[in-house]
Amino acid sequence: MSTSLDQAAIGSVVRVTGFAATEAQFRRKLLSLGVVPGAELTVCRVAPLGDPIQIQLKGRSVSLRKSEAAILQVEGI
């Protein structure tokens, strides 16, 4: 079942299935970071107010705003 990254629990490992409708410029930013369909990532931490969200992706730590994470469609592994 597909959901958005901002809804994933801390410690969960998920696979990117796609993107919600968004600006092409922001989509390019995510693609350049390695956030591509099929990529596996781990939700490491979420700030106390829910923004930002830290993920682990290919050995790198990346922080995304909650609004950015909501664009990513993921499924649990």
What does DSSP say about strands 13-19 and 72-76: parallel, antiparallel, or unpaired? Answer: antiparallel
pTM listed for this prediction: 0.80
Q: Where are the domains of the chain?
A: 2-76
Q: Which amino acid is at 57?
A: L
Q: What is the fold of 2-76?
A: SH3 type barrels. (2.30.30)
Per-residue pLDDT in tens (0 to 9) along the chain, 77 residues: 788 888 999 999 999 998 887 777 888 888 888 888 899 999 999 998 878 999 999 889 999 898 888 888 999 98
DSSP string, 6-75: GGSPTT-EEEEEEE-S--HHHHHHHHHTT--TT-EEEEEEE-TTS--EEEEETTEEEEE-HHHHTTEEEE
Residues 47 and 39: their CA atoms lie apart, in Å, by: 23
CA distances from 77 to 25, 26, 52, 70 (A): 29, 26, 23, 18
